[in-house]
Chains A and B, each alone.
Chain A
Amino acid sequence: MTTSDSKGSSAGPSEIEVVSTGPELRIGVFPCKCGKNIGAVVDIDAVAEYAKTLPGVVHVQVNVYTCADPGQREIQEAIAEHGLNRIVVASCSPTMHEDTFRKTVKAAGLNPYLCIMANIREHVSWVHQHNHEAATQKAKDLVAMAVAKAATLEAQPELDVPVTQAALVVGAGVAGMQAALDLAEAGFKVHLIEKQPTIGGIMAILDKVFPQNDCSICILGPKMVDVAKHPNINMITMAEVESISGYVGNFEVRVKQRPRYVNIDACTSCGDCVEVCPVDVPSRTDQSLTWQKAIQIPFPQAVPSSYFIDPEACLGMDLIRCGKCIDRCEQEAIVPSDRPKYIDLDVGVIILATGFKPADPSKIPRLGWGRYPNVITSLEFERLINAAGPTEGSLVRPSDLTKPTSVAIAQCVGSRDINTRSGCSNFCCAESVKCALLIKEHYPDTEVSIFYQDLRMHGKYFEDQYQKAREEGVKFIRGRVGEIQQYPKTKNLRVSVEDTTHNKLLMEDFDMVILSMGAEGIAGNFPLPISCTHDSFYIESHPKLRPVDTSSAGVFICGGAESPKDIRDSVIQASAAAGRAAIILQKGRYPIEALSAKILQDLCSRCGTCVQRCPYGAISQDGTGKFTVMGALCQACGTCAGDCPQDAIYMPNFTSEQIESQIDIALQEDPGNKIVAFACAFCSYRGSDLAGVSRMQYPTNARVIRAMCSGRYSTKFAQRAFEIGAGAVLYSGCHLPADCHFQTGNHWMAKREPRIRGWMKRNGIEDERFRVEWVSAGEGKKWQTIMTELSEVVKTPRKDIVKPKRAIDSKSKKSVKTKTGSKPKSGSEKKQKPKKKVSSSKSEAGKKKPAKRK
């Protein structure tokens, strides 16, 4: 009972239940065909037959859809009928259904942590579609690896933690406002953070919004006021999140608020100060089409309705340098002594509604924006046609302020182009048709042509808009604009475009061209590691079933931060995110990952390395010099175990013993041709899943071992794999420096790389056989590339002489060690002994094989 320390110390969380298991090992294996997803590639019956021969397996049952209700019921019935105490489901990725099956076995009275999955879909059938034989062999290996791991799984107590009844919403565009209002209405305290001096986001500067073409600020304005007045909403403008620590239910957030230099409560927005301010700056709201003063309000309906001073433009808030506004303000609202403020907040959930930014037209020089005054972006058009804009709603050419008689609208600017952003920006087609209708409404004689590639009018009522635009005489021409040239004298524009329906070149003259700008992602600089796509939008937990959740529990996404979307979709998603967040807040307690590290006191040499490794400060030393882990603080990354020189840290579900048995089985046959790939659960494993979901084919010789964090991969895992004869080893984690979900695990893993390389050099193993890679959840392509490259590496046989003797020696020593460091459950200890023999004899057999061959 050396490890009992972890349990008693968890003061905050409460223990729900621990279901003990019988002493005898009875593993049930459930290979799934997943319809044709797996069944069409992998010979599931052969896998099932093979599974029956594995040690400890007493029951094997094939199913077409294991995750469906009958499939789940069969597992529960089999548990009862055959007295199963370990469950292996060989189907899809654990990120997809581990939770499902854990709930299934829990309902049948088994501890959920006694169920694991073998990923034979994302890692086998979807990525090896054309090699049925090798795919089946790989599936067998993965099942055997899972069975070997299952044999030593232990029941874990399920814990839950109290939840702080408050939410943080980052970004107060229409999505953030909606999420904040929904949560506030539901009775929760909401802290709403906005970077700009006003809330409202991009929607606040639009003129009319499709599809009904109602006035944007007229529908947004009241909502903005609601947000400001709601007693449950704490609105913090000109602020950004500086740091976040903690975990679901208990986030500690530090917000940095920039100085406004104007007292919000005192300012009556009378505008007297503007009259005296001598500094002109380009107006942000008006897209630099006009000027504002250094003391300014973004737009008349801004919330909070208060001016602010742009400190970079201001000459100086004292009477020597300028100070005119201070002199003028009757309310004495100007505060020259304002300084940045730090605000600390405790929240239970976080909703990210950080939005996107409009694409940058200057990146596309062929369209001439910036050089030709009459080429404008769609946002500039919004300001020109807006009654509150610089021209008070009359559309004029910026070059000579005359009314344009012909206008072209160019689609897909900044979207669907690998040089800017390869994806479609979703809203621009409808936006352009709206622009065309607005022009026709104000100036029926103006000719409008839309040059499109594919007109995606997919939304509700959108087709009616398109129909209306055609009736109004808007010309639709299929072809993307090749280039725009300007007549130097008239500043008219010549648009070159191929009419691809008629295969002919059109070189038409227009008075004005509107570029229909797409969206650029800005996600990723948030002080919380949420995976992003390569074009900087947040990645959802599941694209269909969990579209507003992220891989971090308690953190939700909505609006333009998730993908480019229009107002309606943003509001829908915001309400969804608020609903999901409210589930956590309303319950008051949240079940957390029960896994936490335990220190085996008899092995511990009290070096204290683990204390440095732990990013959560969960390990502490008591008066007697004993190190213990605080269960509630531990997030189970395993970085401490990865670097423990005595191997004295027991990391449940990812023990050294379990990982080593997986390595052994993976390299059972033909190890020289195998790649042992370690992938962390949050980034790399999800990246490898993405390769599967995207059906990116790669060679079949990789065997992936999943760990919570790359910090868990000890140097000895790679060494062991190479000793057995592995062709190549991959350590893969979240991107450096800040993507790690456990803050620093990837840094500690990176530090082990030189040690492993040194060891390899001493043993004559070629350098290219070991790789450390950073693969994010969005980089399926990168995973495919790495797998393909490593397969090339293993094609040449290893030249070094492995030292099997030393390997066996160290192995036997190790198994003695783990035995002395006995496991917390006496029941499980008994059954581990026979299993250990099996696994060690197997690995020895595996070790002998390559030697024989050579």
Chain B
Amino acid sequence: MGDNTQDQLLKDLKERARPCFQCGICTSSCPVFRVAPELNPRLSVDSIITRGVVPREGNEWLCAYCLMCDQRCPMGVSLAEILMEIKNISAREGKAPPDVIEAALSLMQDGCLSPISSRSEKIRTELGLPDLPKAEPADVLKLFKATGALEVLETNKAAQEEASE
């Protein structure tokens, strides 16, 4: 069944990528590509169109989701969403990069990604701003369960352990 849904996802992706005619406006507009040329949205889409496979190198995880490529695409292709879908597919296969898994784990455990620093708390009191709400790991966990992120996380953890062994 899992394969079926993956097939369907790939089919949807192909359909969405189909209008792309490889002009390169997306890549030349991409702020990440300027510093990390591994992420090339045009080539990610090209892989889906011409080879019919989801790229597995993991470069799409560099996408900052600024949507500049979506904005400028002359064919109306939603590149950022395609990249997001590629990330989803590879995450379900347990191929999310370790740093992303670590970040997700810490988010699940602590309820937030960056803890509130004492400095910012001090400034807030000086400015008379109310205290920031405390993170509730239990609530976050509920979200993880409801969205299926927990399952994906588990798959990736297992895959990582397997790899390290």
Determine the residue in chain A with the shortest Cβ distance to B41: A498
Residues of chain B within 8 A of A412, CB atoms compared? 23, 74
Residues of chain A within 8 A of B34, CB atoms compared? 505, 507
Determine the residue in chain A with the shortest Cβ distance to B34: A505
Q: Does B160 contact A (CB under 8 A)?
A: no
Is the CB–CB distance between A500 and B42 below 8 Å? yes
Determine the residue in chain B with the shortest Cβ distance to A497: B28
With A482-B24, A482-B25, A482-B29 as contacts: A503 and B43 at CB distance below 8 Å: yes
Complex CA gap A482/B79 in Å reads: 15
With beta carbons under 8 angstroms apart, the residue of A366, A419, A497 that contacts B24 is A497
Is the CB–CB distance between B24 and A479 below 8 Å? yes
Residues of chain A within 8 A of B72, CB atoms compared? 366, 482-483
With A418-B74, A419-B74, A480-B23 as contacts: A503 and B28 at CB distance below 8 Å: no
Q: Does B22 contact A (CB under 8 A)?
A: yes
Distance in Å from the Cβ of B17 to the closest Cβ of chain A? 15
Residues of chain A within 8 A of B28, CB atoms compared? 479-483, 496-498, 505-506
Q: Does B65 contact A (CB under 8 A)?
A: no
Is the CB–CB distance between B76 and A482 below 8 Å? no
Q: Does A416 contact B (CB under 8 A)?
A: yes
Is the CB–CB distance between B23 and A505 below 8 Å? no
- A:471-491 near B, CB below 8 Å: 478-483
Determine the residue in chain A with the shortest Cβ distance to B24: A498
Residues of chain B within 8 A of A129, CB atoms compared? none
Main secondary structure of the interface of A (DSSP, over half): strand
With A503-B43, A504-B37, A505-B33 as contacts: A498 and B27 at CB distance below 8 Å: yes
Determine the residue in chain B with the shortest Cβ distance to A415: B74
A424-456 toward B: CB 8 Å interface, digit per residue (1/0)? 000000000000000000000000000001000
With beta carbons under 8 angstroms apart, the residue of B21, B26, B29, B40 that contacts A503 is B40
Residues of chain A within 8 A of B29, CB atoms compared? 366, 482-483, 496
Q: Does B113 contact A (CB under 8 A)?
A: no
Complex CA gap A711/B74 in Å reads: 40
Residues of chain A within 8 A of B27, CB atoms compared? 482, 498, 500, 505
- A:404-424 near B, CB below 8 Å: 412, 416-419
Distance in Å from the Cβ of A550 to the closest Cβ of chain B? 31
Q: Does B62 contact A (CB under 8 A)?
A: no
Residues of chain A within 8 A of B24, CB atoms compared? 453, 478-480, 482, 497-500
Determine the residue in chain A with the shortest Cβ distance to B27: A498
Distance in Å from the Cβ of A454 to the closest Cβ of chain B? 8
Distance in Å from the Cβ of B109 to the closest Cβ of chain A? 39
Is the CB–CB distance between B76 and A453 below 8 Å? no
Chain A, interface size category, equals: 20 to 34
Distance in Å from the Cβ of A619 to the closest Cβ of chain B? 50
With beta carbons under 8 angstroms apart, the residue of A482, A483, A500, A507 that contacts B22 is A500
Is the CB–CB distance between B43 and A418 below 8 Å? no
Distance in Å from the Cβ of A695 to the closest Cβ of chain B? 15
With A453-B21, A453-B23, A482-B28 as contacts: A417 and B42 at CB distance below 8 Å: no
Q: Does B75 contact A (CB under 8 A)?
A: yes
Distance in Å from the Cβ of A476 to the closest Cβ of chain B? 14
Is the CB–CB distance between A498 and B75 below 8 Å? no
Residues of chain B within 8 A of A480, CB atoms compared? 23-25, 28, 74
Determine the residue in chain B with the shortest Cβ distance to A496: B28
B13-24 toward A: CB 8 Å interface, digit per residue (1/0)? 000000001111
Distance in Å from the Cβ of B47 to the closest Cβ of chain A? 12
Distance in Å from the Cβ of B25 to the closest Cβ of chain A? 5
Determine the residue in chain B with the shortest Cβ distance to A507: B34
Residues of chain B within 8 A of A503, CB atoms compared? 37, 40, 43
Complex CA gap A496/B34 in Å reads: 10
Is the CB–CB distance between A417 and B74 below 8 Å? yes
B63-78 toward A: CB 8 Å interface, digit per residue (1/0)? 0000000001011100
Complex CA gap A482/B24 in Å reads: 8
Is the CB–CB distance between B75 and A418 below 8 Å? yes
Residues of chain A within 8 A of B21, CB atoms compared? 416, 453
Distance in Å from the Cβ of B71 to the closest Cβ of chain A? 9
Distance in Å from the Cβ of B43 to the closest Cβ of chain A? 6
Complex CA gap A478/B43 in Å reads: 15
Residues of chain A within 8 A of B76, CB atoms compared? 418-419
Complex CA gap A417/B27 in Å reads: 16
Complex CA gap A417/B22 in Å reads: 12
Complex CA gap A676/B37 in Å reads: 56
Residues of chain B within 8 A of A483, CB atoms compared? 28-29, 72
Distance in Å from the Cβ of A453 to the closest Cβ of chain B? 5
Residues of chain B within 8 A of A505, CB atoms compared? 27-28, 33-34, 37
Complex CA gap A505/B29 in Å reads: 10
With A480-B25, A497-B28, A505-B37 as contacts: A416 and B74 at CB distance below 8 Å: yes
Residues of chain B within 8 A of A478, CB atoms compared? 24
- A:73-110 near B, CB below 8 Å: none
Distance in Å from the Cβ of B28 to the closest Cβ of chain A? 3
Determine the residue in chain A with the shortest Cβ distance to B72: A366
Complex CA gap A419/B76 in Å reads: 8
Is the CB–CB distance between A479 and B33 below 8 Å? no
Complex CA gap A507/B37 in Å reads: 13
A491-533 toward B: CB 8 Å interface, digit per residue (1/0)? 0000011111001111100000000000000000000000000
Complex CA gap A478/B23 in Å reads: 8
Distance in Å from the Cβ of B67 to the closest Cβ of chain A? 14
Complex CA gap A507/B29 in Å reads: 11
Complex CA gap A417/B74 in Å reads: 4
Residues of chain A within 8 A of B37, CB atoms compared? 503-505
Determine the residue in chain A with the shortest Cβ distance to B29: A482
B124-154 toward A: CB 8 Å interface, digit per residue (1/0)? 0000000000000000000000000000000
Distance in Å from the Cβ of B35 to the closest Cβ of chain A? 10
With A453-B23, A505-B34 as contacts: A498 and B42 at CB distance below 8 Å: yes
Complex CA gap A505/B38 in Å reads: 11
Distance in Å from the Cβ of A697 to the closest Cβ of chain B? 14
Distance in Å from the Cβ of A581 to the closest Cβ of chain B? 38
Determine the residue in chain B with the shortest Cβ distance to A506: B28
Complex CA gap A480/B37 in Å reads: 18
Residues of chain B within 8 A of A416, CB atoms compared? 21, 23, 74
Residues of chain A within 8 A of B42, CB atoms compared? 498, 500
Complex CA gap A418/B27 in Å reads: 18
Residues of chain B within 8 A of A496, CB atoms compared? 28-29
Complex CA gap A499/B37 in Å reads: 12
Complex CA gap A500/B21 in Å reads: 11
Residues of chain A within 8 A of B23, CB atoms compared? 412, 416, 453, 479-480, 500
Most chain A CB inside 10 Å of its own CB: which residue of B22, B26, B27, B72: B27
Distance in Å from the Cβ of A248 to the closest Cβ of chain B? 41
Most chain B CB inside 10 Å of its own CB: which residue of A412, A478, A482: A482
Complex CA gap A499/B72 in Å reads: 17
Distance in Å from the Cβ of B60 to the closest Cβ of chain A? 15
Complex CA gap A417/B26 in Å reads: 13
| Contact surface of B with A, Cβ cutoff 8 Å | 21-29, 33-34, 37, 40, 42-43, 72, 74-76
A selection of 5 A-B contacts at a CB cut-off of 8 Å is A419-B74, A499-B24, A503-B43, A505-B33, A505-B37
- In the complex, besides A496-B29, A505-B34, 15 extra interface pairs with C-beta distance below 8 angstroms are A366-B29, A417-B74, A418-B75, A419-B76, A478-B24, A480-B25, A480-B28, A481-B25, A482-B28, A482-B29, A497-B28, A498-B24, A498-B42, A499-B24, A503-B43
- The list of the 9 closest CB pairs from A to B, nearest first, reads A482-B28, A417-B74, A498-B24, A498-B27, A480-B23, A479-B24, A482-B29, A500-B24, A498-B28
